[in-house]
Amino acid sequence: MSNKWTTVDLLRHARHDWLNQLQLIKANLSLDRTERAKEIMNEVIELSREESRISNLKTPNLSEYLLTYNWLKHPVKLYGKVNGESGDFSLFEDELLHTTKEVCDVLNNSISGYDEYSLTVTFHPAALRVSYAFQGALADEESTFENMKNIFSTHKSTLLIESYNQENKCYFEIQLTS
């Protein structure tokens, strides 16, 4: 990884995230918005479970990238999801990490304006597939879509099986092969 986190860095970022969530819960409770406080608690619980599933993909470098990416204030927010139980993606870690970094770089350099941008990387362990779903406006949507398509086509262990580009949405799904 290009950014090696110290233990203090990791603890500081994790503590900051937890304190933000606790402050939201506390503020909603003080305003008698108990339903919203419960929603936030459920969101935190689900996020923690998702982070656990990401951590159990047997891809330590990729998991670190996915779990710490948003700490560096990129314009595109990155989310990792696992569809079902965690699986073993260890054979594909290097290519998935490289692909994910390239996709993030292309998207961060292709956004248009100051909207909210997100990229969700979803792992499908049962099918040994990974999907990349982007939402947000792009400066040159067609060119960016083609650049991303090329990224998914360059790795020997990935087969692009589905892709589409709609207004403010791009989707790619790859099959992993050994």
pLDDT at position 67, please? Answer: 94
Q: Could you confirm whether domain 57-176 is CATH 1.10.1240.10?
A: no
Q: What share of the chain is helix, strand, coil (3-state, %, to 5)?
A: 50, 25, 25
pLDDT at position 5, please? Answer: 81
pLDDT at position 1, please? Answer: 42
| Pairwise CA distance, residues 166 & 78, whole Å | 20
Domain 1-55, what fold? Helix Hairpins (1.10.287)
pLDDT at position 167, please? Answer: 85
pLDDT digits (tens, 9 = 90+) for 104-123: 999 999 987 788 899 999 99
pLDDT at position 12, please? Answer: 87
Each domain of the chain, given as residue ranges in start order, spans: 1-55, 57-176
pLDDT at position 156, please? Answer: 83
Q: Which residue positions in the chain have pLDDT lower than 50?
A: 1-2
